[in-house]
Structure 1
Amino acid sequence: MNLRCRSILLLVAVLAGYSNVYAQQQSASVPRKKSSAIPARKANEKPAPAKPAAEQPSPADKLVNCEKLNESLISELIFDATNRERRRAGLPEFQASGQLRQSAVGHSADMAKRNYFSHQTKGFILNGPFSDRIQATGLRATKMAENIAMLSPVEKMLLVGASSTWFGGTKGGQLVSEDCRTYRQLADEALKMWMNSPGHRRNILDGSLNSLGVGCALGWRDGIPYVYMTQNFARVP
């Protein structure tokens, strides 16, 4: 078969959808000199090592999903970041308390559901101070404290089609978010806010407190996503 016929057959293969075959054989239509041939691999020659697969980001370094919050992950990261501040101050780390976490999760969820921000839980039957809510879990503590925060996982945002585009003033607009925080960034930002506030910092670095529970919940206010965060501290004998 001459070179012209071979080229026509290759063109037909391309038109029939065999573009990969054509690409692989394209250079074969031109005769090569023997000196340019690639030598075969020797029997005892080891193949080149495969390239390592790209490392997948850890869950903590993934962007926060504004539709479905990984509550246990963000709470764990806040707990760890809090103990990091304790270590820096030369204080013993907080011990995890399931009862304090129960109180914290319930309060964050209630704030998100009822769209408020307060230490008093509106959905709690007693509607009293946070200490009543903690004691209702059955925990017996000699001292209790609480930190709360409300932080958006979106650093920059654009509101489209809203009656007002200033932060927190939209009605019926579409949220277009940019530069979302990762779970780790969100937890670190919460700790930064608390540590820059004397009262919240005092609770975190109170050496007489030894137990901590963290709970978070996702809520929306005026079309903006927020993560409600609660830290419940206690001294448990």
Structure 2
Amino acid sequence: MHPQPTAAVAITPAGGGADAYNRQLGDGPVPEDLRDLFAAVQQAGRSAGSGAPRWDERLHAVATDLAAVVPEGQVLPYRAVEFALHHRGIIEPTPHLVVVWMERDNIVSLTAHVAERLGRLMQGEGYTRAAIGTARRQGKTAVVVALQSSHIETQPIPRTARTGATVPIRGRVLAPFAQPEVLVARADGTVETIKTRVNKDGSFASSIVCGPPAGEIRLEVSAVAENGASVLANFPIWCGVKPPRELRLAGARRDGVDPEMIESQLIQLINTARRRAGLPELALDRETAAVARRYSEEMARTDQVAHVSSESGAADDRLRRAGVRRGLVQENLARASSAEEAHDGLMNSPGHRANILSAQATHVGVGVAYAKDSGDLLVTELFTRVPPTVDRAAARDSIAETIRRGRALRLDAALVRLAQSNAEELAAGAPRDRVAAEMERALNEMAGKYKRLRTVILALSDTRDFATRNLPQDAATDFGVGVAQGEHRDLGRGAIFVVVLLGQRA
């Protein structure tokens, strides 16, 4: 099964929308005409072993908004669903939608049909909220069942604030999640991690300044569980401007069915975003692309989209098992109906956006597979760094300057020569213990000049990763630096070997 085309949509939800996220939670009575159908939804959850989801009034409004515009035989764009969620004050990621078209209002037939579809869908998913929306459309009834997981609670967060205002972000992540992190994508596209106080019970507190400039900022709260980090909330705040009341989207063309074509399209979208941000394009990394493709195929087979798999581990594990060594590995995962939708969703997530616009990444590998039942695209993007050839003298001077900025040390020519010689041996593949022994003999010959000598050996993928905190903080007067490039067992080709010698004069 392959993805359906994404429809053109114009959505104008009824009412003025929420003034804040989570101002009012969604508990409320189930409409009488939907009670039997919702009971079937809850029974499907219990039968699947994931528990009965509770009715969510806000999600009901979202499902009703979407039932009024969903086109028969086509997929609702991700941005339309997201727009409806935020309009109603919901911060959790996009829900799973089941869309059914009925020729006539036959609740018995509808309930049986939906129950059959949900029985497969809810296996092991653990949806905590659900709602149903309906709309009469050209002699038929469109029914939208929305299923959503929620593992976060927050105090009300305004959807709009004046430019320059401080907006508090306070909440709690729920089991099995811990270690919440708050990120923001600014109106200018930059991404930053917000300083956040985190307590043992999962509660957290932070704040963000709403611009300048005026416009939309995007917040994300992620947390960690057994299967890795997950996005628990993703939502915009409008600084100095009002949130939009309607959304109009043109339909997206149907992607080619060849996964390689879609992978190429995603790389083009990534590099277009990087060019717009003033960043160099990423080169194709065929070795990591093969690993990415295999993981997308695994996700299709297991129907699990997670950064950590019980079968293949994390991205680092998958690369290592394939014999691929990289100093930097950042992973994006997506489930979508098209390449454009996958890319838009990732760019709207501050954490994933930061990976796409990483200044350290030099290469990317993308893998795509089709989900078995829905035909959705399952996307894996691996951003890596293959260090370019460095100018050894320039790199050595840069590191020496970093050391001098942090400490009042004198560069010693003899220590520089010895450090450079040993860096070159390490880069050529000489065993580290042999190099250390040779260095110790050479340093012993300097014992009359120095009463103490220390050696620091580092392997880096970028000289910008060097920091003086890597050095011993005891007394030293002189230093020398050596830099060379070669193969490293963990960082792979082009690794940068740095040797720093620190001496305390006698």
Give the TM interval when normalised to the shorter protein: 0.5 to 0.7
Q: Deviations over 1:159-212 (max 9, x none)?
A: xxxxxxxxxxxxxxxxxxxxxxxxxxx222211111110000000111011110
Any residues of structure 2 matched to 1:113-192 within 5 Å, and which? 113-124=301-312, 128-152=313-337, 186-192=338-344
Amino acid at match of 2:370: L
CA distance in 2, matches of 1:198, 1:228: 20
Please state if 1:103 is matched with 2:263: no
Q: Tell me if structure 1 keeps the 8 A contact 2:255–2:339.
A: no
3-state SS of the aligned residue for 2:361?
A: coil
The alpha-carbon deviation at position 120 of structure 1 amounts to 2.1
CA distance in 2, matches of 1:236, 1:140: 9
Q: Of residues 182, 193, 196 in structure 1, which corresponds to 2:345?
A: 193
Structure 2 counterpart of 1:63: 254
3-state SS of the aligned residue for 2:326?
A: coil
Please state if 1:231 is matched with 2:381: yes
The alpha-carbon deviation at position 90 of structure 1 amounts to 0.5
CA distance in 1, matches of 2:299, 2:292: 11
Q: More strand per residue: 1 or 2?
A: 2
Amino acid at match of 1:200: H
Amino acid at match of 1:114: T
Q: Deviations over 1:117-166 (max 9, x none)?
A: 11123442xxx2211112222222111100000113xxxxxxxxxxxxxx
Q: Tell me if structure 2 keeps the 8 A contact 1:218–1:228.
A: yes
Amino acid at match of 1:131: D
Please state if 1:203 is matched with 2:355: yes
- Name the % identity: 34
CA distance in 2, matches of 1:230, 1:218: 12
Amino acid at match of 1:129: A
CA distance in 1, matches of 2:311, 2:326: 23
Q: Tell me if structure 2 keeps the 8 A contact 1:121–1:130.
A: no
Amino acid at match of 2:254: L
User: Which structure is richer in relative contact order (CA contacts within 8 A, separation 6 or more)?
Assistant: 1
Change (3 A) 1:92 1:64: closer
- RMSD, matched Cα: 1.7
Amino acid at match of 1:235: R
Q: Deviations over 1:91-112 (max 9, x none)?
A: 0111101111011101100000
Amino acid at match of 1:194: L
Q: Of residues 366, 381, 386 in structure 2, which corresponds to 1:214?
A: 366
The alpha-carbon deviation at position 234 of structure 1 amounts to 0.8
Q: Tell me if structure 2 keeps the 8 A contact 1:99–1:138.
A: no
Structure 2 counterpart of 1:46: none
For the pair shown, which has the larger CA radius of gyration, 1 or 2?
Answer: 1
Q: More helix per residue: 1 or 2?
A: 1
Q: Kindly tell me the number of residue pairs found equivalent between the two proteins.
A: 136
Amino acid at match of 2:360: S
CA distance in 1, matches of 2:350, 2:294: 25
Unaligned ranges ≥5, structure 1: 1-60, 153-185
